[in-house]
């Protein structure tokens, strides 16, 4: 309907639509243009009033970038490296685990009894209270003892004919996606408390590579499962059935057939996940202090006693968004060439 409506427009209608699209492009591109322009201004050029065109309204300078290079505005290169290492690691791990989960949801039928989930909740909570309050274990020790026991009991209970509803693959998928419905501040605060308790056992997770990476893996898994499930559904099952006839194990079918056929979708999902992790602010704010701070924290901290120094903020932000602009260009080329198929709908 929408395509027929556009092709049926008169010449004036098409011109009006073109003007509207152009106006919208200008509105969306102006903030990026303003960041680029501000990054090349001197402090007097920023506070002295709005200027728009380099070499006409103002004389551009590289001083904000020089300050970044010399570390005057913070250890920019270290935080850039932190974002790169954590982002690549978290995106790769989340894509690998999420792809396996998505493939399992597409090719295998799961039945999770609601009663087994209720048993897990009761045993985990009750076991934690028992170990902590009655047996004298510390809170981290109580967590490490209660949750594996509750999980094992729930797996065994799921094989029993318990009363109540049975959840299928679609319910499990909805559960994955629903994890993104929680307010991030609640999750970040809970993770901070959990990491603090684990730190008392000698495993430092706050302001560490492992802690931040694990957080981002859990944060990204729902997106990966959701995207890759649609892509795996687009792969014809006949290819896998032909391999099953030759008694090829499931893991070899997945690694040797499914993964190569879905490489474009995996790459696209990896880049989308990396973009989410790269731009994430709240978890990095809660879970890092100084050693493993990421770029969003550094950009937000570009201020002084005189207030926000927008020339420094713009220079740092411009360098930070360049990798994401490159990835957006690569993704757009893949989408235009039709390589993603069912990975993005």
pLDDT one-digit tens code per residue, 118-151:
999 999 999 989 988 888 888 878 888 898 999 9
Phi-psi region of 16 (alpha: psi -120 to 50; beta: other; left: phi over 0): alpha
Q: How far apart are CA 226 and CA 103, in angstroms?
A: 11
Q: What are the two backbone dihedrals, phi and then psi, of residue 104, each rounded to the nearest 5 degrees? A: -65, -40
CB 7 within 8 A of CB 279: no
Q: Is the dihedral of CA 35, 40, 43, 49 positive or negative?
A: negative
* pLDDT tens digits for range 144-154: 889 899 999 99
pTM score, whole prediction: 0.82
Mean pLDDT value across the chain = 84
| pLDDT beyond 50 at 1 | no
3-class DSSP state of 342: coil
What's the token pair of residue 51?
A: 């200027």
For range 301-313, the mean pLDDT: 70
| pLDDT beyond 90 at 308 | no
CB 215 within 8 A of CB 191: yes
| Upper half-sphere CA count for residue 223 (Cβ side, 13 Å) | 22
pLDDT value of residue 221: 92
For range 6-23, the mean pLDDT: 81
């Amino acid at each position: 309907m929408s395509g027929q409506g556009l092709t049926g427009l008169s010449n004036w209608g098409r011109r009006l639509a073109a003007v509207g699209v152009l106006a919208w492009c200008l509105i969306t591109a102006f903030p990026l243009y303003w960041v680029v322009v501000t990054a090349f201004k001197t402090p007097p050029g920023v506070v002295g009033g709005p200027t728009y065109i380099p070499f006409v309204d103002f004389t551009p300078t590289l001083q904000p970038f020089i300050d970044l290079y010399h570390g005057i505005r913070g250890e920019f290169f270290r935080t850039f490296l932190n974002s790169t290492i954590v982002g690549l690691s978290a995106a790769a791990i989340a894509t690998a685990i999420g792809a396996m989960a998505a493939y399992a949801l597409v090719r295998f039928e799961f039945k999770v009894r609601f009663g087994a989930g209720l048993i897990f909740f009761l045993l985990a909570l009750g076991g934690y209270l028992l170990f902590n309050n009655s047996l004298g274990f510390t809170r981290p020790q109580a967590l490490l003892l209660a949750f594996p026991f509750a999980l094992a009991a729930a797996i065994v209970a799921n094989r029993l004919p318990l009363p109540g509803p049975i959840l299928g693959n679609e319910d499990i998928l909805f559960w994955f996606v629903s994890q993104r419905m929680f307010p991030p501040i609640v999750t970040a605060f809970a993770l901070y408390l959990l990491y603090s308790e684990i730190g008392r056992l000698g495993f430092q997770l706050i302001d560490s590579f492992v802690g931040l990476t694990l957080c981002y893996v859990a944060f990204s898994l729902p997106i990966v499962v959701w995207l890759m499930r649609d892509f795996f559904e687009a792969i014809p099952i006949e290819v896998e059935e032909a391999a099953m006839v030759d008694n090829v194990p499931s893991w070899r079918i997945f690694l040797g057939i499914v993964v190569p056929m879905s490489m474009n979708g995996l790459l696209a999902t990896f880049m989308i996940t990396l973009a989410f992790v790269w731009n994430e602010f709240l978890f990095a704010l809660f879970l890092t202090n100084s050693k493993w701070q990421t770029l969003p924290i550094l950009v937000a901290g570009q201020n002084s006693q005189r207030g926000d120094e927008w020339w420094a903020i713009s220079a740092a932000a411009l360098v930070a968004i360049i990798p994401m602009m490159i990835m957006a260009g690569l993704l757009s080329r893949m989408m235009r060439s039709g390589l993603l198929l069912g990975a993005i709908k």
